[in-house]
Chains A and B, each alone.
Chain A
Amino acid sequence: GAVVSQHPSRVICKSGTSVKIECRSLDFQATTMFWYRQFPKQSLMLMATSNEGSKATYEQGVEKDKFLINHASLTLSTLTVTSAHPEDSSFYICSARLGYEQFFGPGTRLTVL
């Protein structure tokens, strides 16, 4: 089956630092990956669509300078939370598109102190 991994699974950082989260499609190539944010007891909120070799497309209200996305290869997309603040603490989930379906990573729990 199609497997998507994320690294790290959990990260704690100090306010003002930057954090990079990796999303990899392990057994398929994905020209399109997606980044979601999930708040406790809430749904997944799409942050941006990551396209291999081109700029990411951000959803309304998502700061592109704060959430930097790079999709440098067909199996890897990265999300960098720059100058993280406590309000950025959340569960970040990526997915990779294969055909009409999306396969989800296990998520990364970010805690900003």
Chain B
Amino acid sequence: AQSVSQHNHHVILSEAASLELGCNYSYGGTVNLFWYVQYPGQHLQLLLKYFSGDPLVKGIKGFEAEFIKSKFSFNLRKPSVQWSDTAEYFCAVNAPRDDKIIFGKGTRLHILP
């Protein structure tokens, strides 16, 4: 069965700090990978996705993620965070032939002004 592991449950950073949120998945075959963000009081939004091709994926708001197949990882990065990045971030995976998306437990990011 597929599973997703997010290493950090709660991250606190100051503005302008660099961010990296870890995500590992377990699935032996081809996967689609996603990062979703949930801002306070809002619904889930897609931050970025990887289906195939260039393993370095750029998303909205300056976020990027790198798919490293050998490590089963899809870490999210941002070189300089802003206070408005305070949110919960979810890594997710699905197999292309499967409708289901499996979510990690989420990482709560708090940016200090």
Q: List the interface of chain A (C-beta within 8 A of B).
A: 32, 34, 41-44, 46, 49, 93, 95, 97, 100-107
Given that A43-B104, A43-B105 are contacting pairs, would A106 and B90 also be in contact in the complex, using a CB cutoff of 8 Å? no
Closest Cβ of chain B to A8, distance in Å, is 14
- CB of B23, distance to nearest CB on chain A (Å): 12
Size category of the binding interface on chain B: 20 to 34
With contacts A44-B90, A100-B32 taken as known, whether A106 is within 8 angstroms of B104 at the C-beta atoms is no
Closest to A59 in B: B100
User: Could you say which of A41, A44, A103 contacts B103, with CB atoms under 8 Å apart?
Assistant: A44
Q: Is the CB of A104 within 8 A of B99?
A: no
Q: List 9 A-B pairs, Cβ < 8 Å.
A: A34-B99, A43-B105, A46-B102, A95-B44, A97-B99, A100-B51, A100-B94, A100-B96, A101-B46
Give the residue name and chain of the B residue nearest to A42 (CB). B105
B residues in contact with A107, CB < 8 Å = 43
Interface centre among A41, A43, A107, by most B CB within 10 Å?
A43
Residue ID in chain B nearest A102 by CB atoms: B101
